């Protein structure tokens, strides 16, 4: 009788240990899945940046070369430097020198930053790159959120901060992007970034004598971060 009770007790212990082992394995697998997902998402984003960024750079290089030559050949009094150089804060809080052509014709100033995308200073989509002075004014939570993301060539704030509504305030849009960013949201933002200037160009062709507000003019007052 005693042996039977001891055998039953051992079986109960073994059952409990097996159950705990299964629970631990399930939790470990779930944790690994979350970790793999967290690691895979930046990898997909970076692959999109390199592939699409390099393709766009090849397509616009002739136009950039012509624009740079035109800026260099300007009259001496209006010449200056063809390339603007500014210090901006990138991924992990690391500063880098942002270089842009000094022109907004056909958004060439924005497209001239594509080498930064290929190198990894910028992403195609992300929050705007801040100056050191702007970064110093961030709260600790905003600073952590910013440092975890690579700044972007364009972003949610740039395509949505136009209506003047409270939920379209740039800081809220940047926070929303930090919490919900992903491949599909990036593609939607890129599509909007192309559609908006194309629509403006078509309106200009239909009404050549009528002035239109630029993309920058639609920003809310105080929005100083670069596109």
| Of 152, 149, 158, the residue nearest 192 (C-alpha) | 158
| SS3 category, 35 | helix
List the structure tokens of 196: 């908006």
In angstroms, rounded to a whole number, what is the distance separating the alpha carbons of residues 111 and 57? 8
Q: What pTM did the predictor assign?
A: 0.68
Q: What is the pLDDT along the chain (227 residues), one digit of tens a residue?
A: 555 555 555 555 555 545 544 444 444 344 433 433 444 467 889 999 999 999 999 999 999 999 988 888 877 656 678 889 999 999 999 999 999 998 887 788 999 999 999 999 999 999 999 999 999 999 898 899 899 999 999 998 888 765 555 566 888 888 888 888 888 999 999 998 888 777 766 776 676 655 444 343 334 444 444 44
Residue appearing with tokens 């979350």: 34
The residues facing 96 across adjacent strands are 88
- DSSP-assigned letters across all residues of 40-51: HHHHHHHHHHHH
């Amino acid at each position: 009788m005693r042996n039977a009770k001891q055998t039953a007790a051992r079986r109960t212990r073994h059952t409990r240990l097996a159950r705990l082992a299964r629970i631990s394995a399930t939790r470990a697998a779930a944790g690994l899945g979350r970790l793999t997902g967290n690691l895979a998402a930046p990898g997909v984003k970076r692959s999109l940046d390199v592939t699409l960024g390099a393709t766009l750079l090849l397509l616009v290089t002739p136009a950039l070369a012509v624009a740079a030559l035109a800026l260099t050949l300007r009259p001496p009094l209006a010449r200056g430097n063809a390339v603007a150089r500014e210090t901006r804060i990138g991924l992990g809080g690391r500063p880098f020198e942002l270089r842009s052509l000094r022109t907004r014709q056909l958004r060439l100033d924005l497209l001239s930053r594509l080498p930064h995308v290929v190198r990894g200073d910028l992403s195609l989509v992300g929050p705007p790159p801040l100056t050191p002075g702007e970064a110093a004014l961030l709260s600790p939570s905003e600073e952590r959120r910013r440092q975890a993301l690579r700044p972007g060539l364009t972003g949610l704030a740039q395509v949505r901060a136009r209506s003047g509504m409270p939920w379209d305030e740039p800081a809220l849009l940047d926070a929303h992007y930090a919490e919900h960013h992903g491949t599909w949201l990036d593609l939607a933002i890129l599509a909007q970034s192309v559609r908006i200037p194309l629509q403006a160009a078509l309106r200009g062709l239909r009404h050549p004598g009528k002035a239109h507000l630029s993309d920058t003019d639609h920003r809310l007052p105080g929005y100083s971060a670069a596109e």
